[in-house]
């Protein structure tokens, strides 16, 4: 395991990192940090939670208590790190055993596999077994995804790092901002991995969002993205993290990734598309699109269906209902790709 974020700290924070890590691993809840300033203690603790997600019982935020001591005319700050562990000792033991079982199974599945394949297998394990839910107390650690099946982006990213660390694949926890369902940026976390000497962005949370129905085969999206592709809906501080420059391995659904402007435009188009899981969502969206006289409406649809022909029939019927309700005359064209991506053309 590479302690990547430790290397980004200043000298005092690195010294604190080295000092408190062992005690956190042994379950200490109050750690004397001596004369190290509280800001450096906080930076060291944050780096540890990124580098060591196997310490899933640690809260995402820590507290510090600082006393000013005076001796022989000199003042000295004495900082104490205070930890309120999330889980009880018995729960920690149960989770550790469960995670070991998962890792042992994944090691069997990935025997003699490439690092690329290991990444896909680990991401798909998380996507199949996790439901997205925000809970800033319990869902920001690896056990929330791996043991309890409910997590948010920070917990999912830490879970993926735990799995890939165990398989010998370089994996980095990255925090920044991502576009939410309201098309607004909010705090977000994902990963950078290294395969065959090249770095790639992996966003298991966004891939989970594309697979809410858990329908097989899973949509393989947000895997092995380069900087330019992930930047379409992510922002991050590029000061420290490795540059991801290889655009030849990206998995974005059914699109074959290349460097052409046409391919990049199509990937951007799909990444911005909404996803509907019910006919009511589809009809509501169609109503708005038709009222705005949009010539084209693009989206993903997760309605169970046996074939693209059946999906086309469902979409056509939904359009007919909306046309009748709005008293609109319109000709439509429907194109459905195998991963559920729909391009609907509207001629008024």
DSSP H helices, 170-225, are: 204-209
Q: Does domain 274-347 have CATH number 3.30.1370.230?
A: yes
Q: At a CB cut-off of 8 Å and minimum separation 6, what does 230 contact?
A: 190, 201, 203, 222, 244
CATH 3.10.620 residue spans of the chain: 89-270
**Cis amide bond preceding 217, omega within 30:** yes
Q: What is residue 319's DSSP assignment?
A: H
Class of domain 89-270: alpha beta
State the pLDDT at residue 75: 52
Question: Does this model's pTM top 0.75?
Answer: no
Closest CA to 66 of 51, 81, 47, 83: 81
CATH 3.30.1370.230 residue spans of the chain: 274-347
Query: What is the number of other CB atoms lying within 10 angstroms of the CB of residue 172?
Result: 23
SS3 label, residue 105: helix
Could you say which residues of the chain have pLDDT below 50? 69-71, 254-259
49-83 residue pLDDT tens: 999 999 999 998 878 776 554 445 555 567 899 99
């Amino acid at each position: 395991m590479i302690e990547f974020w430790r290397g980004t700290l200043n000298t005092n924070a690195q010294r604190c990192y080295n000092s408190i890590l062992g005690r956190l691993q042994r379950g200490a809840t109050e750690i004397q940090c001596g004369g190290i300033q509280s800001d450096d203690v906080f930076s060291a603790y944050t780096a540890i939670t990124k580098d060591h997600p196997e310490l899933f019982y640690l809260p995402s935020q820590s507290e510090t208590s600082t006393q000013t001591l005076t001796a022989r005319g000199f003042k000295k700050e004495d900082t104490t790190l205070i930890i309120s562990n999330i889980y009880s000792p018995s729960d920690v033991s149960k989770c550790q055993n469960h995670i070991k079982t998962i890792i042992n199974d994944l090691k069997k599945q990935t025997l003699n596999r490439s690092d690329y394949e290991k990444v896909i297998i680990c991401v798909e394990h998380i996507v199949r077994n996790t439901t997205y839910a925000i809970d800033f107390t319990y869902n920001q650690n690896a056990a929330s995804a791996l043991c309890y099946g409910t997590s948010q982006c920070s917990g999912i990213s830490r879970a993926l790092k735990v799995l890939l660390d165990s398989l010998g694949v370089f994996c980095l926890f990255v925090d920044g901002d991502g576009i939410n369902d309201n098309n607004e940026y909010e705090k977000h976390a994902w990963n950078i991995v290294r395969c065959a000497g090249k770095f790639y962005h992996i966003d298991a949370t966004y891939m989970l969002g594309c697979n809410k129905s858990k329908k097989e085969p899973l949509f393989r999206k947000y895997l092995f993205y380069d900087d330019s592709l992930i930047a379409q809906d992510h922002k991050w501080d590029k000061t420290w993290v490795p540059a991801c420059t290889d655009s030849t391995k990206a998995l974005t659904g059914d699109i074959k990734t290349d460097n052409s402007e046409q391919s990049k435009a199509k990937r951007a188009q799909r990444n911005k598309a909404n996803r509907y899981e019910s006919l009511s969502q589809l009809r509501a969206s169609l109503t708005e699109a038709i009222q705005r006289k949009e010539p084209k409406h693009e989206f993903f649809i997760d309605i169970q269906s046996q074939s693209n022909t059946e999906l086309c029939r469902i979409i056509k019927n939904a359009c007919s209902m909306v046309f009748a309700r709005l008293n609109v005359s319109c000709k439509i064209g429907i194109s459905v790709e195998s991963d559920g991506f729909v391009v609907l053309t509207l001629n008024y």
